[in-house]
Amino acid sequence: MAKWLSPPPKQCDICRQPITGRFVDGATRMGPWAIMCEDCHREVGYTLGVGRGQMFDVKTLEKVQ
Domain coordinates in residue numbering, the chain: 1-65
H or E segment and range at residue 61: none
- pLDDT given at position 1: 73
Average pLDDT of the residues of the chain: 94
Residue 57's contacts (CB-CB under 8 Å, 6 or more residues apart) are 21, 22, 64
User: CA 19 → CA 16, 39, 48, 50, 51, distances in Å?
Assistant: 9, 10, 18, 23, 22
The pLDDT tens digits of the residues spanning 10-34 come to: 999 999 999 999 999 999 999 899 9
